[in-house]
Amino acid sequence: SQTIHQWPATLVQPVGSPLSLECTVEGTSNPNLYWYRQAAGRGLQLLFYSVGIGQISSEVPQNLSASRPQDRQFILSSKKLLLSDSGFYLCAWREEGSGGAQYEQYFGPGTRLTVT
């Protein structure tokens, strides 16, 4: 069965510091991967998605970046955090392919980031 991991679970960082969040998926090959952010009391905002190694699409211009160095690894980074970067960061995956149940996305446990 497939499993998705995210770490760290919680993070407190000062403004201006760098960020690196990691997501890995087990039990599947060439998944589509997604990074979302959920601000307190708000909906899900899609930040980045990737359909393959090295292929990153950005949904929202900001000071965040994403990379996919390996098939099942997705990394979210920032060089300098802003207060507005605080939130709940969620990684999700879906099977590569088209049609039916393969569109289902599954979320990791998330990383709660507080920028102080």
Partner 1 sequence: QKEVEQNSGPLSVPEGAIASLNCTYSDRVSQSFFWYRQYSGKSPELIMSIYSNGDKEDGRFTAQLNKASQYVSLLIRDSQPSDSATYLCAVNPIKAAGNKLTFGGGTRVLVKP
Which residue number, 1 or 14, has a Cβ lying nearer to partner 1?
Answer: 1
110 lies in the site for partner 1, by CB under 8 A: yes
Which residue number, 7 or 16, has a Cβ lying nearer to partner 1?
Answer: 7
Strand bridging mode 73-78 / 19-26: antiparallel
The rounded distance, in Å, linking the Cα atoms of 80 and 24 is 24
At position 39, the amino acid (one-letter code) is: A
Which residue number, 102 or 116, has a Cβ lying nearer to partner 1?
Answer: 102
**For residue 74, which of 115, 26, 113, 112 has the smallest C-alpha distance?**
26
Q: Which of residues 46-105 bind partner 1 (CB under 8 A)?
A: 46, 49-51, 57, 88, 90, 94, 98, 100-101, 103-105
